[in-house]
Structure 1
């Protein structure tokens, strides 16, 4: 009983012959069957064309993921709108791409489908996947996105295509130039719709959707269902069918969630020690701001790591170069912001490191979900300060998983690990690569007078002398309470060593009329107070101003930081609100 038809026939016989089975129990059995179909069916049983199945076979794909198992048959057999809720990394591109490619009319060289997604990287990744899926059918897919000369995309569109994948800004620009005609669109896909709205693309999405025909199939894929998404579906979707294959805020089971506690001045040294303890590390380090990604990456590079940063200030060529090096593992550590890492599809990450915990638990789920993919295990490590330990407890409840506390490695422990790894590599090295006998005369001339002990000491001192000096007298970076910040473990910053966790109320002169959202406000606060880790509480956005709660220990710092700040041409002002 291995196929879908076998399973359904089995349960049909049971339901027909056993008159004592009540309707509630029959429904229970049916739900159990459906919930396990994704582990039982193959792509061949979804109804896809032989040509597409051949492409999947060439790619080594046999069994669909849960979201693919539910959406592919539905889209193939229905013209109704669809809302699909699934986390990042669950195979959403194939979930909508395969059935839409299957329904494209190849003989009609017109834009029959458009996919909207939040970032250039995701746009290119989706396009690449669609090209692979359609390798054995003559379907043309054109990506359009910002940061690339528009004339190239205009040329590709002029030649004609079946599908367009684009970011809202560039798609809207092309429509306004009358270079992109969506009048023949039959399938509209919104991928990572929640992220597009978070990034402020609401107006562009409204304008684009208004240019599409009334009679079309709209497929919305999202990790969450915030009010903005519900509003969007209410305006543009017609009684959509809803599929949800994962619990909201739930992390993958093959990821270990860990955290280390240190003081604010020693966050970077703690990151270094963790990286040194894992010689095989292949990781993304998530930071809050663009500037922080640059600073951390620069420090890592200066300290000899194969690292680089990914942030919004890079040109498209620079971003492609960084991501290409990272995918090829020429970089071990990539330092990035949440937005910049969107669309970066890497399946072999050993670690995700949170240099700062995100304020939204959904962002934590997205971040940590970048490791532990393709059946492999992964580690999500948060480097936090003592005041954030309560945040770990909140995250445990919100993402429904347990976090394990680890100690920041001691300096000697790190040095021994690095030395041991180096010596293992030396012992395993193929000595035949260097012909010692050929150069024996010059080697003896330069080093022959040295004893074995002297020679070993010189080589090891040259290779590890600096590292040993750095670590031999290193301090303990572990911190368990806020008082540890006041005992001389690093320079004291403004605001450090204060007692209590009280929240004060503040008012900022931005509100609904400025299109302010909670996530934007948090980003604004983080950007203007990068040297502090300020806890944010409730946020009440009103028409012309916003009242929010923040750590009362930082009243003076918050007010001072915003004295010269501006946002979209507006002078910003923050004051305490009693």
Structure 2
């Protein structure tokens, strides 16, 4: 797909040239199914919209691009309010809109608990166009009268079912009650439980429902492992992983076209048989590259998700997630290209500390068992290369393919000993390839921010104190009490924060233990500290009333 073709796919929506340029710089190559449905409906229609799609399907850009087009620059009032269940998602949405707005002068502010409210007050007083926030902090500003929504044009609820799970329904109704009647409301949700349908019926008008069906997620024949690496170590980790394998024949997935170009050029510089595929490559060249890959003339193909669509290769040994995919479905699409035709394959994912939580979410939704792997040691890589050379030389000698060099060899041996000649030839041919000093042993990064929050279906009413709960988890999982951080205990449940590898051990140890048909310990699915404070606030608020 050429650059012109890429722009045409988004140009069909009638987006401005400035927005199309921002889309190109983001590396977007083709609208996702939810974007195909929501963007034209929001741009041209006047109806409220329910968008039903899974996380990781491009929902943010689906509503962000039309908002950017429709809102006037530097308005004196808040024109759009976006509600998200967690501070992480609020920040993510805010960053996404900022990256898509291009040169358009729109002020976007994320509003969430844990951030200084004074900073938020100053920003709101100056005037902003779009507010992205969590229900608790938005309610706080509404009660303070520091957030005024009288001129609101758009209200967007993102991941509404998750907000329901976190107990935010009353908060959402409170907020919606402070918005004007004349506005457009968009509600995005992966599922549509009864309380969400009730809100839509009560607060939305002339509703258009746009649904993208989730696909069956299976990963049966693929061994799945992840490596802990820092962003700067990913390339070295990829090279070392290729070196240690007997016959690496795989797809390497990158997030953007620039990443594809960078990784491909560096692989070629290192002497690997590699090519890259992305949307700027013409169809003719794409077919040529893929033909070479299918015939195994190249062993490494680096690609974006869109560029790899339609590639049918039966016997890949590896699929490598150089960059984490957007969501579970994209993950399964990628790794489904190995483990075909009854053959087992290996899916490798590089994970930085900041991505542990996202990997946990992918595991949970795709029901994939992704095991932690250890990157090879330098001595093992060198030993593997030596063994490969021995095997290749043995084959050449047995097949007699060295005869043409007999005269040259005899000349060399006339002046030097056999040992000197062989050593000099190895040095000339392989330079420093067998020198351990030229390799760097990659260590797992220190995961300062790479923590996972776990939900524990036991609280104060269970008769356990904080020490007793930590002791119970320690005894059953083997995870030391010193590794269990930020314990938040409430009447019926608790939350703990641990590093990703400790979370794996805890979830495995408590697998099968349930309380009221719910797992005793599970991933918190984005439930954050603010959400729990909110639960306490509601009880207090009801008493006051």
* Normalised-by-shorter TM-score class: 0.3 to 0.5
In the superposition, the TM-score normalised over structure 1's length comes to 0.45
